[in-house]
Every structure is written in structure tokens, then in C-alpha cells.
Amino acid sequence: MTATLLDREVSYRELIDAGALQLYPERDLRRWFGGGSRRTVGDLLAVPTHPSRVVWAVMRERVLPAHVLYQIAVDYAGQFVDHARRRGVYLDFRTVRGLVAMQDWLDDRISLGARLIAAEAAGQARTDVADLGEPPASAAADIVCAAMLDNAEAAFRETFYLYLDGHGDAAGLRWVVARARARLGAVACDRTAR
């Protein structure tokens, strides 16, 4: 059986070294690890706690490849934009093109330069949409710009939290975790390579 990113291991020590005790009580961390010293990404994503806690632990470039974090960020932004479109929210064409450009860049269909040009245009769209005073349109522009940030971990985290701001009900929480699990389960890897 081929290992996937869900099988990648994270150690208790890694989280402590990354500052987990500054954010979470030690008893919670110990509970996540079930008394052991290592857990897989899949195990940690199944921990019964708010997804934002577990996301902090596993959705990092020290654990996962940057392109996967970017892909999940684009997935979250795409779902957010689709929800907005279905509700009749105004979407600036530069926002939509930015999202498409980011996916094209991830799929190696455009260059980094083309992605950066699209990000600049999406950023200008965010500024212009903010002037309209339409919070749903601004939220869609914000999440697309977040997915296009230069740092994959930051892009993931920003889109994650922006998605939850707009869709943080129980169904939204289940969807963000399920989407991450689906993407991580589709990528073959060495269990321990970083």
C-alpha cells in the first residue's frame, strides 16, 4: 500500500518545539497523541477538537509540501467564491481570474510571473470592491487574495480562517477537514521525509 500525506508522522516533540504549549494546554496535546510520541497527520485530523487547533499542528510546511498547502487554500477559496456566486454576490472579474490563475500555476499551466500579475490585479480588485461597501463581495476578494499570498503556509491559514468566518457552521467545519483529508490522501509520499 502506498503511503500518502495522511500517513506522514508528526512528533509530540515537534509541536512542543514549534511553540504548541504557548497556544494549547499540555493536557490537550497529550490527549491528541494518546500517550504516544508520534501520530500521523490523518490521526491528528481525526482528533475531536475544533479544526483550527489541529490545523495549526499539521498544516505547516515543516510537515506538508508547499504546493499541497496552496492547493487546499485554492480549494477553500474556490468553494467560498462558488457559495458567493450562488447567492448572487458581485464578483469582480479580477478576483475570479486570480483564482483561476492560481489553479493554473499549481497545474503548471502558467508561470510564476503570470501568477504574480494576476495576484496584483486581484489585489486591486479587493481595494476597488472594498470601496463598494459590499461585505460579501469584499470577503470573496479577500479569500482569493489570501490564497495567492507568497507563503504557502500563510496562504493556507488565511484562507482557512476566512472560509470559517463565512461558513463556520458545523457543515463548514466538516467540509474544511474533509477537503484537507481528501487532498492529503491523494498525494503519495515517504512517511517521514520532510
Please write the tens of the pLDDT for every residue from 5-41.
999 999 999 988 888 888 888 998 888 888 899 999 9
Q: Residue 62 — pLDDT band, cuts 50, 70, 90? A: confident
Q: Above 80 in pLDDT, residue 1?
A: no
Q: How confident is the prediction for the chain on average, in pLDDT? A: 92
Instruction: Give the per-residue pLDDT at 49.
Output: 84
User: What is the distance between the alpha carbons of residues 160 and 88, in angstroms, rounded to a whole number?
Assistant: 23
pLDDT band, very low/low/confident/very high, at 191 (cuts 50, 70, 90): low
Given a contact cutoff of 8 angstroms between Cβ atoms, the answer to whether 140 and 89 are in contact is: yes
Task: State residue 28's pLDDT score.
Answer: 87
Render 11-75 in DSSP notation, one character per residue: EHHHHHHTTHHHHS-HHHHHHHHTTSSEEEHHHHHTSSS-HHHHHHHHSSTTTS-HHHHHHHHHH
193 has pLDDT over 60: no
pLDDT: is 105 or 56 the higher one?
105
Question: Please, are residues 6 and 41 in contact by the beta-carbon 8 Å criterion?
Answer: yes
Which spans in 46-151 are helix H?
Answer: 51-58, 66-86, 93-106, 112-130, 135-147
- Is residue 155's pLDDT more than 70? yes
Residues with Cβ within 8 Å of residue 3, at least 6 apart in sequence = 188, 189, 190, 191
Q: What is the pLDDT of residues 78-117, one digit of tens each?
A: 999 999 999 999 999 999 999 999 999 999 999 999 999 9
Domain ranges for the chain: 5-58, 66-185
pLDDT digit string (tens) for 127-154?
A: 999 999 999 999 999 999 999 999 999 9
pTM confidence score: 0.92
